[in-house]
């Protein structure tokens, strides 16, 4: 079996057999010629299946160690399709600081269909255990969480879920299958915003889902085809292209993030740094056990007397914007951006305060990043 660094390049469908092209062609077609009534060559309509998309779907399934993969037009389309596996009267347990968009679709869309949720600290197994009742059908985890980088023991939660006949769904966007494989840890479904590290170049919006069984694959394919939020052929091609360099990018992301986290922690002007690679982080041991890296996401709080607005406005190299996981370093303000859809009281309760800044560390020269942060801190002094 190939190691993951090789699998990223050669996994799924490797090249094009009919021409010898080393890259999967972009099958920019909506429909397919059928040789006879009821006979086709495996494809009939591109919403149902497209060869470029299929190559990406097989690749992500192989990378995650799952049964089947599905590619969607965005991370939220993937999450929406997965949530569509549930029916009225079902209830989900969700991590207490999941991505704002995930919370919004559960709270504002699926709640209309009488699919309910309870917010729990998934890092605490007892809290999950207490929240399980007859209506609960799944546990929805992000690990590390967005933006406070809390860690959940995926293996232990999956065991607890299985004991209670529940599905375990893991958003693996921050870690990618290069660093963490939830299905191998016992999860049933993995979702990704492919827009982030998998695509890796801030040029494609996409979503991916991987399931661990034939039964879930059939159900999710039905939903994907019926609701139609599929990834286009060209975007599927860009995703495959991005994934080929995932290993080298993540290695640099990881090493840069560790250096930047330590740099921020060494600064007197910074009150707190959230980063799971610190040995005193409450989830450090679990993260070390279940992943082979700490990722490149950091959140930090500036001390009083420093304006977070001025800090963000003073950055020159680091880009202020939504999203994460691109080759460029990106900074965002969770309270008004990614987590604005979460009610303010819930936000504050979990620690998403107004002066919290989230940093997605890119693959630039790390000295340049230090310099940019230093300049912005100096200008943020009030």
Residues annotated as catalytic are: 47, 99, 171, 196
- 107, burial (CB in 10 Å: exposed 0-12, middle 13-18, buried 19+): middle
Encoding tokens for residue 259? 């250096």
**How far, in Å, CA of 146 to CA of 307, rounded?**
22
Cα 249 to Cα 7, 242, 245: the distances in Å are: 15, 10, 6
Cα separation, 234 vs 194, in Å, equals 14
131 vs 37: CA distance, rounded Å: 53
Interatomic CA distance for residues 204 and 345, integer angstroms: 33
Q: Is 272 left (phi over 0), alpha (psi -120 to 50) or beta?
A: beta
Cis upstream peptide for 144 (omega within 30°): yes
Tokens of 345: 């009281």
Are 146 and 98 in contact, with CB atoms under 8 Å apart?
yes
Tokens of 291: 């992943």
């Amino acid at each position: 079996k190939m190691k993951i660094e090789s699998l990223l390049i050669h996994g799924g469908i490797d090249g094009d057999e009919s021409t010898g092209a080393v890259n999967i062609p972009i099958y920019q077609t909506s429909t397919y010629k059928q040789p006879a009534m009821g006979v086709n060559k495996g494809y009939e309509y591109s919403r149902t299946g497209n060869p470029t998309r299929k190559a990406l779907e097989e690749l992500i399934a192989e990378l995650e160690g799952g049964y089947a993969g599905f590619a969607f037009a965005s991370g939220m389309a993937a999450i929406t399709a997965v949530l569509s596996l549930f029916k009225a009267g079902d209830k989900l347990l969700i991590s207490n600081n999941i991505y704002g968009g995930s919370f919004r679709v559960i709270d504002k869309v699926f709640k209309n269909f009488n699919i309910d949720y309870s917010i729990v600290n998934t890092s605490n197994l007892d809290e999950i255990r207490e929240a399980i009742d007859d209506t609960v059908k799944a546990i929805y985890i992000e690990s590390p969480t967005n933006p406070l980088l809390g860690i959940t023991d995926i293996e232990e939660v999956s065991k607890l879920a299985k004991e209670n006949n529940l599905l375990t769904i893991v958003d693996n966007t921050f870690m990618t299958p290069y660093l963490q494989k939830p299905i191998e840890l016992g999860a049933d479904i993995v979702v990704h915003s492919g827009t982030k590290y998998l695509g890796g170049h801030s040029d494609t919006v996409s979503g991916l889902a991987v399931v661990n069984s034939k039964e879930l694959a059939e159900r999710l394919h039905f939903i994907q085809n019926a609701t139609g939020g599929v990834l286009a052929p060209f975007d599927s091609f860009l995703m495959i292209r991005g994934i080929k360099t995932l290993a080298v990018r993540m290695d640099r992301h990881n090493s840069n993030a560790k250096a930047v986290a330590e740099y921020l922690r060494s600064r007197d002007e910074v009150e707190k740094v959230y980063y799971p690679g610190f040995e005193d982080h409450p989830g450090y041991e679990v993260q070390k056990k279940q992943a082979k890296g700490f990722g490149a996401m950091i959140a930090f709080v500036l001390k009083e007397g420093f304006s977070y607005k001025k800090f963000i406005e003073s950055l020159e190299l680091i880009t202020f914007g939504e999203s994460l996981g691109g080759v460029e370093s990106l900074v965002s303000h969770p309270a008004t951006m990614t987590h604005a859809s979460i009610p303010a009281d819930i936000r504050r309760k979990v620690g998403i305060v107004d002066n919290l800044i989230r940093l997605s560390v890119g693959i630039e020269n790390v000295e340049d990043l230090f310099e940019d942060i230093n300049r912005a801190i100096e200008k943020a002094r009030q």
